[in-house]
Amino acid sequence: MELSLMQALLLAAYYWFASWYMFYSVINVFLGPLFTGMICGLVLGDVPTAMKIAAVIQPMFLAFTGAGGTVVWDETAATLGGCTITMISGLPIESAVTIAVPLSLLCAQLHTVRRIITVYTAQQSDKYAAVGNDKGIVFMATWWNIIMKIFLFGVPMFFALYFGAEAVGSFMNSLPDWITNALGATGKLLPALGFAMTVNVIGRPQFLPFFLAGFFLAAYSGMSGIPLALMGLFIAFLYYLILEASSEKDAVDEGSAAAAKADEEGKKLLTKKDVNNLVFRWNMFCEMSNSFARLQSVAFCAAFIPVLKKLYGNDQEEYSAALTRHLMFFNTEGIWGSVVHGIVLAMEEQRALGAPIPIEAVTGIKAGLMGPFAGIGDTIDWSTLKPLFIMLVLPLAEAGSFLAPIFYFILLGGVTYAENLFFVRTGYKMGTDAALSILQGGMIQKFISCASVLGMFMMGGLSSSMVSVTTPIQIPTGDTTAMSVQKDILDAIAPGLLTLAAVLLVYKYLRSGKSMMKATFWLLGIGLVLGAIGIIGEGGLLLKPIAVAAA
């Protein structure tokens, strides 16, 4: 199979589109392996195979949240390269992971360059704000970045795929069996990093028994997907009941009082439509112009332009001042952090009505609240809900179904956008009391704990099938047969022991403070060496399979 010019153009165009980072609620869907795999399948004419490859690649990136805007992996490039090279070369599906990892690390550097270049958007937006040119700010928040990314992402990916994919595929096909086994064994081992990272992020050590419960339940019963999730929900609910029973008293409902107080404010300048429009614009712009200079500042300002114009449009000087103050440094998690947007919106409206609200109070609220809500949002939405939704649809992807990314899009996009609406409306209605209500309420901690229980259980169950570490070692028994170390010894004790050991060892390594980059290279090295020799996998250079002499 050869990659045509049109196929290379279409795949590069998708990479460019994904790099827009448009619509915060579904960024992770477009960037992720499942949706990217579906696009590869459509372009290359084999959706089932592409989805199976994407299912193999996905666990590597299960836990990465990009907190603070960091980009260590490029999931989209990894999947485009892994799917394309594997499919045009006819390689084993497991080989895609080994191809994907170096590609993801290499292309991640493009995102560092992106955030350096987009420093210009903040500088130019300052000039536009000074003269009240809101169209210029919106252009810098959107179209300037989209055009720039053609050259930064689209063009390099086209040349890499069109001129490099076939060459890499031919090279891979010419490799001897022992190297092929090394690559296959490494591909099955590397997903252990994704699961270990997820467990490290969403679960405290005391939740590890739930991980073990999920692992052995799946290993013994073969349960996966929806049945496993239902079992996890039942266990998480039991845990919630235990927490409720052990609570001395319920959290004080500060939110209701704050809402009642807000309802008595009287006159409003803004409508529900204005608030909803702010939500839509923020969700669309949030990460498009992120830069090292002021991170989400341009997006924040661009999202607020219609309401600021409605509040201050009759006073050009005041309008320019409002644009300028909302171009100051800002960075938060885009969903839970949008409480800040609602609070700031309420303060700006009251200021426009003549309330004595100093500018320092508005900017102080932004600076003081963006951090705490970012931590909550990253924990709940991107470290817990996102992996859970992926795990729910992953069995569909393993079966080659295009429905996996569609359901993932609906689940993640629907839940997070609904949250976005709720938090902006809540912040606007309740003002600064909204922050105290959410941050101080005891329910949020219970929710995080129960979500962690569910997440740990699901990670345990899915890791038993998505990570595979086996050994071909056989021990002669004195007759014509041999005892298999894997089937006759390890599996007789408990199925999946080597797989479980791999995940837990990586987890312990990460818990000790070591970086995931080092863990990646260690796994690559160990997998390639042990696979080449024949300790793990299905064969090897020196041992095909290993026969250990009887004592």
- Residue 507 pLDDT exceeds 60: yes
Task: Average the pLDDT over 77-84 and give the result.
Answer: 92
- Residue 128 pLDDT exceeds 90: yes
Instruction: Output the pLDDT for position 347.
Output: 85
pLDDT greater at residue 385 or residue 52: 52
How far apart are alpha carbons 155 and 170 in whole angstroms? 23
- Residue 220 pLDDT exceeds 70: yes
Using the structure block, give the residue that is written with the tokens 């250990």.
548
Q: Which amino acid is at 383?
A: S
- Residue 378 pLDDT exceeds 80: no
At 143, the pLDDT band (50, 70, 90 cuts) reads: very high
pTM given for the model: 0.73
How far apart are alpha carbons 175 and 223 in whole angstroms? 37
Helices (H), 131-154: 134-141, 143-149
Instruction: Output the pLDDT for position 551.
Output: 38
By residue count, the chain amounts to 551
How far apart are alpha carbons 386 and 124 in whole angstroms? 35
At 253, the pLDDT band (50, 70, 90 cuts) reads: very low
Using the structure block, give the residue that is written with the tokens 């329910």.
443
Instruction: Output the pLDDT for position 10.
Output: 96
Q: Which of 243, 204, 213, 246 is nearest to 452 (CA)?
A: 204
How far apart are alpha carbons 161 and 178 in whole angstroms? 27
pLDDT greater at residue 26 or residue 207: 26
Percent of the chain's residues with pLDDT above 90 = 32
Report CA torsion sign: 359, 361, 367, 369.
negative
Task: Average the pLDDT over 531-541 and give the result.
Answer: 77
At 273, the pLDDT band (50, 70, 90 cuts) reads: very high
How far apart are alpha carbons 178 and 168 in whole angstroms? 18
Q: What is the DSSP letter of 476?
A: E
At 260, the pLDDT band (50, 70, 90 cuts) reads: very low
Say if residue 499 is exposed, middle or buried (CB neighbours under 10 Å; 0-12, 13-18, 19+).
buried
pLDDT greater at residue 184 or residue 544: 184
